[in-house]
Amino acid sequence: MSRVFIDTNVLLDWLIPTNSFHAEASAFVRVCFEGRAEGYISAHSLTDIFYISRKYFSVEDRRQFLLLILSNFTVVTESSGDFLNVLNEEGFFDLEDGMQMRCAEKEKVDFIVSENLKDFRSSAVPAVNIAAALQMI
């Protein structure tokens, strides 16, 4: 079974029906929910999702989304050492993406799923788009 790290944006695409990759993200999340892939997310993704989705959903709806996510994905926690590792990298450019790459590397996942592949060019773990991930699984 594939072990995959899921970019926050993929989960937001799944949650928000008007987002560009909603259909693809929904298909991918369904694969994870069905147990055909083991999904990993960063702890900070939960706070990002709760905050960003506030324009679209009530507090209760957002709470239910997070509970659904927590019951279906493994949450990777970040330590101060992880933050230091990312901040001290020579090619540092974006803390959020850097932390996702660090979490994916720590968990030794097979690949990262994202529609923003350019953000993961320097990742030690390969990144693929949703369509490629669905084909690989």
Pick from 87, 10, 93, 3: nearest CA to 45:
10
- Mode of pairing for the β-strands spanning 74-76 and 2-6: unpaired
pLDDT value of residue 112: 98
- Mean pLDDT, residues 15-31: 93
SS3 category, 114: coil
Q: Report the 10 Å Cβ neighbour count for 18.
A: 7
| Half-sphere exposure in the Cβ direction for 120 (13 Å, CA) | 25
Distance CA 9, CA 15 (A): 10
| Stated pTM of the model | 0.91
SS3 category, 24: helix
pLDDT value of residue 88: 86
- Mean pLDDT, residues 95-100: 89
**Mean of the per-residue pLDDT values for the chain?**
94
Distance CA 75, CA 96 (A): 15
Q: How many helices (H) and strands (E) does the chain have?
A: 7, 5
Residue type, 124: A
Pick from 94, 41, 38, 99: nearest CA to 66:
41
